[in-house]
Amino acid sequence: MVRGQRGWPWMYLNLPYLGEAEAAYNKGDLELVAEIETQIWFQGGGRTAAQVSPTMRQLAYEMNYRALTHEAKKLGKRLPDAAVPSAERLGELNIPTLIIVGEHDIPYITAAADYMLERIPSAHKAIMADAAHLPNMDHPAEFQRLVGAFLAGLRIST
């Protein structure tokens, strides 16, 4: 799964409705923020709510809403940033790495996936069809198949 790495420039993140989500957050309207972010991250670019599983969409909304409420209540503890951003240390990874990205994910994330693919020596990338930012929720069986095939191809030494 493509996870955000520190040091990757958020300034290139240009999402539709991001300003609307920020304004809603500042007003305390977490339901609207969760809905906007569900549209961005779960539906992705070019898909409507009718084109995704309603059950998985609702689950994504609920997970996001829960995270937003925890953030608003300042629950949990944020760790300090590393002295050297992880984006600058990707070349140090010496492990097999599978980068999975959904074909409907936002361009910022697909660019981040390509950035990691270019810098992690043993990286492989898979693009999941008809999936956005949460490909494991969009198509769990296909996700498991991709990960299983990747793991099966690893040589384990003892």
Could you tell me if residue 157 is inside a domain?
no
- Give the per-residue pLDDT at 116: 94
The reported pTM is: 0.79
Number of structural domains, the chain?
Answer: 2
Could you tell me if residue 137 is inside a domain?
yes
Please spell the DSSP secondary structure of 32-94, one letter per residue.
HHHHHHHIIIII-TT--GGGS-HHHHHHHHHHHHHHHHHHHTT-S-PPPPPSS-GGGSGGG--
Domain membership of residue 37 as a residue range:
14-72
- Give the per-residue pLDDT at 107: 86
Could you tell me if residue 77 is inside a domain?
no
- Give the per-residue pLDDT at 17: 76
pLDDT tens per residue across span 2-22: 445 556 665 556 666 778 888
| 94 and 143 share one domain | yes
pLDDT tops 50 at residue 54: yes
Out of 63-67, 77-81, 129-133, 148-152, pick the least confident.
77-81
| 21 and 50 share one domain | yes
| 90 and 66 share one domain | no
Could you tell me if residue 98 is inside a domain?
yes
- Give the per-residue pLDDT at 7: 60
